[in-house]
Structure 1
Amino acid sequence: MHQNLTATPSAKEFDRPDLYINRELSWVEFNRRVFGEAKDCRHPLLERVKFVSIFDSNLDEYIMIRLAGLKDQLAAHVISLSPDGLTAEEQLAVVRELQAPLIQEVHYYWLNDLIPLLAEQHIHIMDYEQLNEGQRASMLSYFEREIFPVLTPLAVDPGHRFPHISNRSLNLAVSITDPSLKEPRFARVKVPPSLPRLVPVPVLSENAHTVAFVWIEQVIAAHLYMLFPGFDVWESYPFRVLRDADIELQEDEASDLLESIEQGIRERRFGSVVDLAVNPSMPPRIRSLLLDNLEITENDLTIIDGHLGLSDLMELYSLERPDLKDPPFTPRQPAALRKEQNLFTTIREHDILMHHPYDSFNSVVDFIRAAAHDPQVLAIKQTLYRVGTHSPVVDMLLEAIENGKQVAVLVELKARFDEENNIEWARELERVGVHVVYGLVGLKTHAKAAMVVRKEEDGLRCYVHLGTGNYNATTARIYEDLCLFTCRPDIGADVTNLFNMLTGYSRQRSYRKLLVAPIGLRRSISECIEREIQLQKEHGNGRLIFKMNALVDPEIIHLLYRASQAGVSIDLIVRGICCLRPGIPGVSENIRVRSQVGRFLEHSRIFCFGNNGNEEIYLGSADMMQRNLNSRVEALFPIEDPVLCEAIRDRVLQPYLADTVNTYELLSDGVYVRVKPEPGEPLFDCQAWFIKHPLIEPETEDNGFGTSALPSGS
């Protein structure tokens, strides 16, 4: 695809489109890697089904946000090019070209591989035509009892306008005829989203594990005659619609941000249609009727030979079949936090680093709980981005208010697809007297920080929790993240200033230790990369190891290319989108890019600079994207304890770089290939290794010193 990429250093060389991978195509490749996990026989069967569901859910969100954005650019006649030189129209075309066969491959694999494998394990996914007479009688009873009362058939004719088709809804397009007039009529029936997509079917079997399911839309289709008495029902066809789900806010014109976002949520229901998914069996006349009334073209049509909306397969994961799932594990509590002493005393003794989900998130909840009940605590301040529907962290903040603490919380209302949930939490917190702010105009607050102000013998002391992930007890079980407890005065002062900026009128322009966006994060990261370039020239030991979710920002990519040209050894662990093209002679031959997709979602951001043998390590919330560096409040925090730096280097980064189970390597042509062990070497699964090995060895953790090197095997 990209040939003759050899380059020589020059001032303008980085303006070449062939040095960049298109962001949209990189995302398609990421979702391809997710599907790759569904095909990996090393995963238990229900885990593989879960990856199909994740693939489809990812695809929905991508279409609703990114493809919708490209269509908006096209409609607005935006002529700017992506770094790889493509217009919005060209990007739409190439994404559709790559995505269509991938979607078909996923559905083919589900139908022809996973469904038979599930049947072998006594989990039968059936079509209605496969049901016997007794099972059909049971489905009739279920339809009359559970489905029929909530269905609303909507006719389409001169007296009935074409109905609104809600986002992500599954529907049936029904063709009926009035026997007396012989005129075809059209109706739409929405599949109730409140009911299970997979309806349990009674089945006789000697095996206690045997279960069977049929698709709810097929149950509805089989009983449409009950919805249209007096009419002949000729045919029905499923279809699914995705709409533009991005909320556009004019924040500088909004008098009340919360009300503006609520209005945006309401308007999102009526976003323009971006994609219509249908089966190939749908006749052209019905397809055309849908396209015309949804005001889209054939370019916005996805034809899927299989079941629509495979994200609903997550329902199968709730089955009580532990033999078909990853073995459960109990997250550990670091030895330092198992001491029979006050949590704040422990943090005063030394910094505490935690690695979720391997270390229990309960310790974070315990930190807020301790603050809520400690009589010496005066105030708690915290950012909340995605906290979930049932939040023990918020429960502790509510208890803190009851106990007379001053509590201030920034609730980021603009967290995409969590807006409604966050609005509810904001109102609940305000009701009990929490000082709630919604963030800064024009900036999304993505930093993860909590601060406890405690009165002690020598004065006030700030205890701080800083992390790479959200204060969400549910996702903390499956998201990989790192966090730090500390009471270092400089960091405490910085976090104090950060909260003052978020809640008041502070225009803080510099920080002692934190790297804060949009103020100085870009500059600081750039200076650290420049330092490695200089160290490479002086000592030949320039070293960079970055772990992040996405690498898109052109300026950072330019710097990494320059560092590679200078000979700096660079390892990038980028889970998702990566626009940097590694391995180009004369430009990026010293850069290696890996992506890890496995049991847990890799979410931590780590920036490790060799610094002439004295590693400088930052953790935090920011990816290297324009939005993170320019349009969000982000915070990277330093790891200053040498023991913890060593732990991150040897017991976090090195296992990632040694992994041969979850890792893909990015080639210069934009293709990802699975990393395999050297001949004769065993497979090494870093996530399995993290489950077994704590960050700090227990025998040394009590003193806050010592860590062991990465073992040679898993």
Structure 2
Amino acid sequence: MCNTRPARGRRRLARRMNAFTQGPAEPVDGGSAAAAAAERYVNRELSWLSFNRRVLAESENERYPLLERLRFLSISASNLDEFTMIRIAGLEGQATRGIETTAIDGLDPRQQLAAIRELLLAVESRQQRALGALRDLLAEEGILIAEIDQLDDTQQAWLEEYFTTDILPLITPQAIDPSHPFPFVANLGMGVLFRLKRGRRQPDLVEMVLIPSGAPRFVRLPGKQAVYVAIEKLIGRYAAQLFPGFKILGDGLFRVLRDSDIEVEEEAEDLVRYFRTAIQRRRRGRAVLLELDRDCDPAAEALLREQFDVDSAMVVKSEGMLGLRHLDAICGEPRPDLKFAPFSPRYPERILAHDGDCFSAIREKDIVIQHPYESFEVVVDFLHQAATDPAVVSIKQTLYRAGDQSPVIAALIDAAQAGKAVTAVVELKARFDEERNIRWATELERAGVQVIYGFMEWKTHAKVSLVVRREEEGYRTYCHFGTGNYHPINARIYTDLSYFTADPALGRDAAKLFNFVTGYVEPRETERIAISPIGLKAKLFELIDREIANAHAGKPAGVWAKLNSITHREVIDKLYEASAAGVEIQLVVRGICSLRAGVPGVSENIQVKSIIGRFLEHSRVWAFGNGHRLPSKHADVFLTSADAMSRNLDRRVEVLVPIVNKTVHDQVLEQVMLANILDTEQSWQQQPDGQYERMRVGPEAEAEGEGFNCHDYFMSNPSLSGRGAALKAGAVPKLRLEDDPG
């Protein structure tokens, strides 16, 4: 049965927990303090834009195949859309309500918006230049993103016929006058505004044509040569079929982005009903950004500005194509010569050695799997085996993102229908996956799964499976802890770690985690894992403090971390404190990083790098020297679902899992972490001013094979694959650091 529980109890517990996690409010500083903050920290929003510039730079990377470069351009555009709909919308809301809360670097919302506007225009201009260059290069390879005038008469005749038969029935012109109010345009909607004339004495008529979301953005002409034409070009060229008898005086292409964040109200008594309503509201959210083509008719532009009521600072006139996120459709063109070489993930050898029996393999020894180099199928098989094994009595599973066609959901449904006790913690607040998660929750509940939605105020972001099996010795618990989501499509692109264990202590801790989420039974203590928001941050500080103490005592001291983002001021300050004490700190942070590395007197002993490449770095790892030089068999190594952000450490349910098994410990530290730290070919090094420079290997070094690409390494080597014997034989070539003698 679906568990929504009274909101009053949730709020009472949340207030008590927030008082514990948030600490005292910081005093408001003056101008000098703000200046000092700007020198000490990087603004979160500007750091994100810097990350997206690194993504965009991959579209200019001449080492990549052309269609992969086009894909990176599409990704950068999609990223920018989401940033606008969430982050810019949030700042605009603060500015409108007069909220003057400053960011970590001292900027208030209006100052941040001004800085974002400048960078946004620069990124948009660079995207258009990248598209121009790629269009020319793709044309040389027989892939044409064409203007209609470039095509011959036969091709134009085909396009006109296609417009008549396939496009015209889908579109509806809408007059705009006193009796026809301005129509609603959904979030990410695109349309064309036409200014028309019929007869000299008739007033001008304005008509809007919205581009249907179900229509293909790019139309591919038949033939061997790949010729694509944007749908808005067809509508503009053949508009006379829409408006017979009218003269077209001008037109303007536009696109609108709306506020898409969903804030959960404390008074919401039914989360499912609330989110169903909120999803509908999001489609009609406040307009945040209005994009116009550079040749937009002045009268059409004036009307669009008035109707969308967008701050003039957030109206962008594009130098070229709007909606570059849709370019990924062209990347599907069957040209393997213009794409990365195909890669098939390996299946874990340990499990194959046990004839596919996951439980037997895990019972023998802990296993760590690195996706996408090792197949996500092992996670699916683990749950499918649990669903069909008569000895399994119960399954508990967290679900944050699971995808459209989820074999994980199917396994849980099969288990429930087989009579097992199945509990699924479904997080409704997973941004842009809310609607999908409501659907999954409904299907799970129908199958007899006990569906829990967790806390009202906090997201359950931990990735945990818990399976209890009846064996000869008694009940045994098997766990899967992941750094990523249970999403089979993402697992082909995102680098994540899956840790399987039958360690009884970790099993007991995982059970306490589920009791915390499902029944608000706060664990007084755990044996191994740390849970946020009740103790994970404190555990990290304890470990960093130990490294500081070791440095003061003259012992080797070091911290390695691999994260997606680091913005938490307390964590950053603690790392600054460690750097000042002499702790050597290596951070691999893919995205947002509010910490400044290498600042004299602040962070001389900290290095930060970002890896951008074929795969999206997503695994989260912490390693602490523990009195020895990293990497070391004595180091403490942890996997986690949490980034070093306030939302993760203070407002989400996350886990920090220690790796005690020697084989898994060495695999994570001496393969995953070391390869990431030593990568040169996909890495960007952060400079003291917070900007990034690409780490380039000179031609001589490349010729001597001294450059190192961690993605290529993991694709071409046995990697983890569940076999510890591969570790020494497949160690990071010529770059493995010497362990200290202790």
Q: Deviations over 1:520-564 (max 9, x none)?
A: 011000111111000111133110001000000000000000000
Shift of 1:695: 3.5
- Cross-structure match for 1:624: 644
Of 76, 81, 88 in structure 2, the residue corresponding to residue 55 of structure 1 is 76
Of 519, 532, 544 in structure 2, the residue corresponding to residue 517 of structure 1 is 532
- Cross-structure match for 2:387: 372
Shift of 1:699: 7.2
1:647 paired with 2:671, answer no
Determine helix, strand or coil for the equivalent of 1:245: coil
> What CA distance in whole angstroms lies between the structure 1 residues aligned with 2:144 and 2:665?
50
Report % sequence identity: 42
Determine helix, strand or coil for the equivalent of 2:204: strand
Q: Structure 1 residues 359-368 or 635-644, which shifts more?
A: 635-644
Contact 1:468 1:620 in 2 (8 A): yes
Of 188, 195, 198 in structure 2, the residue corresponding to residue 175 of structure 1 is 195
**Equivalent residue pairs, number:** 694
Shift of 1:339: 1.7
Contact 1:696 1:706 in 2 (8 A): no
Q: Structure 1 residues 565-574 or 511-520, which shifts more?
A: 511-520
1:319 paired with 2:333, answer yes
Distance 1:653 1:664, change over 3 A: same
Contact 1:128 1:215 in 2 (8 A): no
> What CA distance in whole angstroms lies between the structure 2 residues aligned with 1:149 and 1:40?
41
Shift of 1:401: 1.6
Distance 1:149 1:696, change over 3 A: closer
| 2:336 aligned partner, one-letter code | P
After TM superposition, list the pairs within 5 Å mapping 1:334-483 onto structure 2. Answer: 334-341=348-355, 342-483=357-498
- Cross-structure match for 1:22: 43
Determine helix, strand or coil for the equivalent of 2:553: helix
- Cross-structure match for 1:115: 135
- Cross-structure match for 1:191: 211
Shift of 1:707: 6.6
Contact 1:336 1:701 in 2 (8 A): no
Q: Structure 1 residues 528-537 or 503-512, which shifts more?
A: 503-512
Contact 2:373 2:715 in 1 (8 A): yes
Distance 1:589 1:510, change over 3 A: same
Shift of 1:518: 0.4
Q: Deviations over 1:490-539 (max 9, x none)?
A: 10001111111111231224321111110101100011111100011113
Contact 1:172 1:239 in 2 (8 A): yes
> What CA distance in whole angstroms lies between the structure 2 residues aligned with 1:238 and 1:48?
26
- Cross-structure match for 2:98: 77
Contact 1:383 1:448 in 2 (8 A): yes
Shift of 1:618: 0.8
Shift of 1:16: 3.4
Determine helix, strand or coil for the equivalent of 2:438: helix
Q: Deviations over 1:313-368 (max 9, x none)?
A: 00011111111111111111222111234321211111000000001000000000
Distance 1:187 1:690, change over 3 A: same
Determine helix, strand or coil for the equivalent of 1:174: strand
Determine helix, strand or coil for the equivalent of 2:342: coil
Of 681, 692, 696 in structure 2, the residue corresponding to residue 672 of structure 1 is 692
Contact 2:372 2:491 in 1 (8 A): yes
Distance 1:596 1:307, change over 3 A: same
> What CA distance in whole angstroms lies between the structure 1 residues aligned with 2:721 and 2:376?
19
Contact 2:483 2:498 in 1 (8 A): yes
Of 551, 565, 568 in structure 2, the residue corresponding to residue 550 of structure 1 is 565
1:106 paired with 2:120, answer no
Q: Deviations over 1:19-63 (max 9, x none)?
A: 001111101100000011110011111000000000000000000
Shift of 1:108: 1.6
Distance 1:333 1:651, change over 3 A: same
> What CA distance in whole angstroms lies between the structure 1 residues aligned with 2:175 and 2:37?
55
> What CA distance in whole angstroms lies between the structure 1 residues aligned with 2:504 and 2:338?
49
1:584 paired with 2:599, answer yes
| 1:712 aligned partner, one-letter code | K
Of 33, 37, 40 in structure 1, the residue corresponding to residue 61 of structure 2 is 40
- Cross-structure match for 1:9: none
Contact 1:510 1:520 in 2 (8 A): no
Contact 2:463 2:641 in 1 (8 A): yes
Shift of 1:713: 7.4
Contact 2:117 2:314 in 1 (8 A): no
Distance 1:697 1:14, change over 3 A: farther
- Cross-structure match for 2:656: 636
Q: Deviations over 1:560-590 (max 9, x none)?
A: 0000000000000000000001111111010
Distance 1:297 1:13, change over 3 A: closer
- Cross-structure match for 2:296: 282
1:160 paired with 2:180, answer yes
Determine helix, strand or coil for the equivalent of 1:454: strand
> What CA distance in whole angstroms lies between the structure 1 residues aligned with 2:448 and 2:637?
38
Contact 2:34 2:107 in 1 (8 A): no
Shift of 1:70: 0.4
Of 690, 699, 703 in structure 1, the residue corresponding to residue 714 of structure 2 is 690
| 2:253 aligned partner, one-letter code | P
After TM superposition, list the pairs within 5 Å mapping 1:304-315 onto structure 2. Answer: 304-315=318-329
| 2:161 aligned partner, one-letter code | S
> What CA distance in whole angstroms lies between the structure 2 residues aligned with 1:543 and 1:121?
50
Moved over 6 A (4+): 12-15
Of 732, 736, 739 in structure 2, the residue corresponding to residue 710 of structure 1 is 732
Distance 1:24 1:693, change over 3 A: same
> What CA distance in whole angstroms lies between the structure 2 residues aligned with 1:47 and 1:326?
7
Contact 1:700 1:707 in 2 (8 A): no
Q: Deviations over 1:233-259 (max 9, x none)?
A: 222221100000001111x31111011
Q: Structure 1 residues 143-152 or 31-40, which shifts more?
A: 143-152
> What CA distance in whole angstroms lies between the structure 2 residues aligned with 1:521 and 1:511?
11
TM-score by length of 1: 0.95
> What CA distance in whole angstroms lies between the structure 2 residues aligned with 1:610 and 1:75?
48
| 1:327 aligned partner, one-letter code | A
> What CA distance in whole angstroms lies between the structure 1 residues aligned with 2:500 and 2:725?
15
1:254 paired with 2:275, answer no
Contact 1:568 1:590 in 2 (8 A): yes
Q: Structure 1 residues 602-611 or 638-647, which shifts more?
A: 638-647
Contact 1:697 1:706 in 2 (8 A): no
Determine helix, strand or coil for the equivalent of 2:713: helix
- Cross-structure match for 1:127: 147
Contact 1:35 1:51 in 2 (8 A): yes
> What CA distance in whole angstroms lies between the structure 1 residues aligned with 2:461 and 2:260?
20
| 2:142 aligned partner, one-letter code | H
Q: Structure 1 residues 49-58 or 176-185, which shifts more?
A: 176-185
Q: Structure 1 residues 172-181 or 593-602, which shifts more?
A: 172-181
Contact 1:20 1:579 in 2 (8 A): yes
> What CA distance in whole angstroms lies between the structure 1 residues aligned with 2:439 and 2:189?
24
Long gaps (5+) in structure 1: 1-11
Contact 1:647 1:707 in 2 (8 A): no
Distance 1:448 1:122, change over 3 A: same
Distance 1:472 1:698, change over 3 A: closer
Determine helix, strand or coil for the equivalent of 1:485: strand
> What CA distance in whole angstroms lies between the structure 2 residues aligned with 1:633 and 1:338?
34
Determine helix, strand or coil for the equivalent of 1:183: coil
Shift of 1:139: 1.2
TM-score by length of 2: 0.91
Contact 2:369 2:721 in 1 (8 A): no
- Cross-structure match for 2:556: 541
Q: What do you get for the CA RMSD once the two structures are aligned?
A: 1.7
> What CA distance in whole angstroms lies between the structure 2 residues aligned with 1:284 and 1:226?
24
Shift of 1:281: 1.2
> What CA distance in whole angstroms lies between the structure 2 residues aligned with 1:72 and 1:13?
22
